[in-house]
Structure 1
Amino acid sequence: MNPIQVETFLTIVRLGGLSKAANHLFVSQSTISQRLESIEKEYEVTLLNREKGVKSVSLTKEGERFYQIAMKYESLLGEAKNMKTISSETTITIGAVDSVHNYVLKDIYTSIIHEMPNVRMAIHTHQSNEIYALIVQRDLDIGFSLQERILRNIQVEKLFEEQMVLIQKKKDGVPSGNVKNEDFNPAHQLFINWGIEYQIWHEKHWGPTNNTHIQIDTPKLLKELLLKGDYWAIVPVSIARALHTEGWINVHLLEDSPPSRTCYHVEREGVNQSVRELSEFILQSKSHIEEIVRPWW
């Protein structure tokens, strides 16, 4: 397989036909056919379904697998060509759950962009139970997990701990304050799974979590749903504080409060200097983080 073969195959698939690919690449259709056949002979596969009278193409199962390989090949070739352009920059991959990215670290990422212009960040959203495996596999350089684990050659440091509170849309005559757990109907709950300890606590008051009526996996949906009905949700104080500044929710502390949420900074031992400097920048921003996650009262 060579770059010309890959380019030809991907062009056929993306444009939907051999003649369109030939026009796009400024070669004859017979040349396109020869390039395609050379791939199929080399790997002893059939990549396209060929039907008489049908101008568009469709991939065989082998073609679908080869398409994924060809895209990876194209991506790696592009990276190789761009090595000189990006040689002065370093890409650092960061993984965390959505709520940590958007409500705790967002401003820190902005500061990194201004303070460390030669660092390229790739910010990915993952579940906490995925973070450690991705760090071990070197698919992430830095992770922020809501779980603490002990693994060989992996450094884990507590980054912050935050209170969990109940929020709901403001109602006339209902101020923020302390409330009783039993006063809230589970049928009106917007349930987000904050981890095993939270699930155990939740079951004491409202039964198994699979009985909840509305389950969501991202806090981004909270605003829209809370505004449209008589709903309530339990969230970390960082989310509550961000929504409260908009002036449309009440924040309550439950009589039997949920377990706090703890976030851990995770990375491999012996990371390169760029990753170390970025980690130190984040850890030195703890005062900013502590302000975001400070207790409601």
Structure 2
Amino acid sequence: MNYSQIESFLTIIRLGSLSKAAEQLYVSQSTISQRLHSIEKEYEVVLLNREKGVKSVTLTHEGERFYQLALRFEALYLETKNLKSTSGEATISIGAVDSVHNYVLKDIYSAVFRQIPDVRLAIHTHQSNEIYYLIDQNSIDIGFSLQDRILKNVKVQKLFEEQMVMIQKKKIESTTDEIDNSVLSPKQQLFINWGMDYQIWHEKHWGPTTNTFLQIDTAKMLRDFLEEDGMWAIVPVSIARDFHKQGLIDVFTLTDPPPSRSCFQVEKEGINSRVEQVSELILKSKPKIDKIVRPWETLV
């Protein structure tokens, strides 16, 4: 397999047809077909669905998998090609859960841009349980996980800890600062899995998570669902503050509060100097998230 084959395959997918790919690459359609056939023959797979009378192309199951690999191949090829012109620069790959990227670390990422101008950040969203595997496989340089694990040759440091609070759609008047857990119905909960400690606490009050009717995996999905009257969710303070500033929600503490959420910075031991520079800056800029005591006062 070579780059011209990968380039042809990706151009077919991007433009939706072999003829358009041939025009784009200034080669004949038979050349494009031959390149595609060479890949399929080499790996003994069928990449595209070929249906008579259908002009647009669609990927087979194997084609979907190969498409992801082809994108990585293309990125590595282009990065290698540009190695000389970007020899003074470095790309640092960072992985974290959605809520950490968007509500805690975005200002720190901006600080990295300002203070280390020749470093590019590649920011990816992953589930907490994926972070350690990706670090171990060198797929990302720095990870932020909500889980604390012990792994050979991997360094784990607690980056921050934050309080968890309950939120609901904003009402005209709300002066209650604390709600009893028992008055909250799991049928009206927007459940997000905040980790094992949280699940144990949750089960104590509302039983297994199967009792919840709506489970979501990103904080941003809360915006639409919280429009429904009576719906509620438990979120970290960083998310509550952001939503409150937009006038979307009221914030409450609970009589039996959930355990705090911890976030751990994860990286391989013996990292290179550029990764270490970014890592140290993030640790130095460690976010401090103040607790909420009386929500309607402290969130103004």
TM-score class, shorter-chain normalisation, is 0.7 to 0.9
Give, as a single letter, the amino acid of the residue that structure 2 aligns with 1:96. Answer: A
Q: Which residue of 1 aligns with 2:87?
A: 87
Determine whether 1:296 maps to 2:256.
no
What amino acid is aligned across from residue 264 of structure 1 in structure 2? F
In structure 1, the partner of 2:222 is: 222
Alignment of 1:1-297 (within 5 A): 1-12=1-12, 14-15=14-15, 19-29=19-29, 70-286=70-286, 289-290=287-288, 293-297=289-293
TM-score normalised by L of structure 2: 0.84
- How big is the shift at 1:239? 1.2
Report if aligned partners of 1:176, 1:251 keep a CA contact under 8 Å in 2: no
The alpha-carbon deviation at position 224 of structure 1 amounts to 2.2
Percent identity of equivalent pairs: 64
Q: 1:230 to 1:88 in 2, by over 3 A?
A: same
Q: Quickly say closer, same or farther: Cα 1:9–1:138, change in 2 above 3 A.
A: closer
What TM-score, normalized by structure 1, do the two folds share? 0.85
Judge conservation of contact 1:161–1:261 (CA < 8 Å) in 2: yes
Q: CA deviation at 1:161?
A: 1.3
Instruction: Deviation per CA, 1:51-93: give whole Å up to 9, x if none.
Output: 8887766777777766665554433332222112322111111
**How far apart, in 1, do the equivalents of 2:45 and 2:184 lie?**
61
Does the 8 Å CA contact 1:176/1:250 hold for their aligned counterparts? no
**AA in 2 matched with 1:188:** Q
User: 8 Å contact 1:181–1:256 — kept in the other structure?
Assistant: yes
Distance 1:248 1:36 in 2: 51
User: Contact 2:177 / 2:252 at 8 angstroms: preserved in 1?
Assistant: yes
Distance 2:178 2:204 in 1: 19
Instruction: Kindly provide the CA deviation profile for residues 193-234 of structure 1, in whole angstroms up to 9, marking residues without a partner as x.
Output: 111111111111111111101111111122222133221111
Conserved? CA contact 2:89–2:118, under 8 Å:
yes
More moved, 176-185 vs 133-142: 176-185
Is the 2:169–2:228 Cα contact (8 Å) retained in structure 1?
no
Q: CA deviation at 1:192?
A: 0.9
Per mean C-alpha deviation after superposition, the further-off stretch among 58-67 and 87-96 is 58-67
Q: 1:87 to 1:202 in 2, by over 3 A?
A: same
Question: Aligned pair in 2 of structure 1 residues 175, 141: CA closer, same or farther (>3 Å)?
Answer: same
Distance 2:45 2:179 in 1: 66
Q: Give the deviation of 1:26 after TM superposition.
A: 3.6
Gapped runs of 5+ residues in structure 1?
Answer: none
Aligned counterparts of 1:258 and 1:28: Cα–Cα separation in 2: 64
Mark the CA change 1:185 to 1:272 in structure 2 (over 3 Å): closer, same or farther. same
Larger radius of gyration: 1
Secondary structure of 2:129's match?
helix
User: Following the alignment from structure 2 to structure 1, what is the Cα–Cα distance between the partners of residues 84 and 188?
Assistant: 56
Where structure 2 has 5 or more consecutive residues not aligned to the other structure, the ranges are: 294-300
Cα distance per residue 1:256-285 (max 9 Å; x no partner): 111111111111111111111111111111
The one-character-per-residue Cα deviations of 1:82-137 (angstroms, maximum 9, x if unpaired) are 11232211111111111111111111111111111111111111111111111111
**SS of structure 1 residue aligned to 2:147:** coil
Between the aligned partners of 1:61 and 1:219, the Cα distance in structure 2 is 31
- Larger displacement relative to structure 2 (32-41 or 264-273): 32-41
Verify the 8 A CA contact 1:146 1:262 in the aligned structure 2.
yes
CA distance in 1, matches of 2:39, 2:260: 57
Moved more, 12-21 or 181-190: 12-21
TM-aligned CA distance change 1:18 to 1:91, over 3 Å: closer
Alpha-carbon spacing, 1:228–1:3, altered in 2? closer, same or farther (3 Å): same
- Determine the C-alpha separation between the residues in 1 that align with 2:62 and 2:163: 52
Q: Read off the aligned partner of 1:296 and give its amino acid letter.
A: I
CA contact (8 A) 1:175 1:250 kept: no
How many residue pairs end up in the alignment? 293
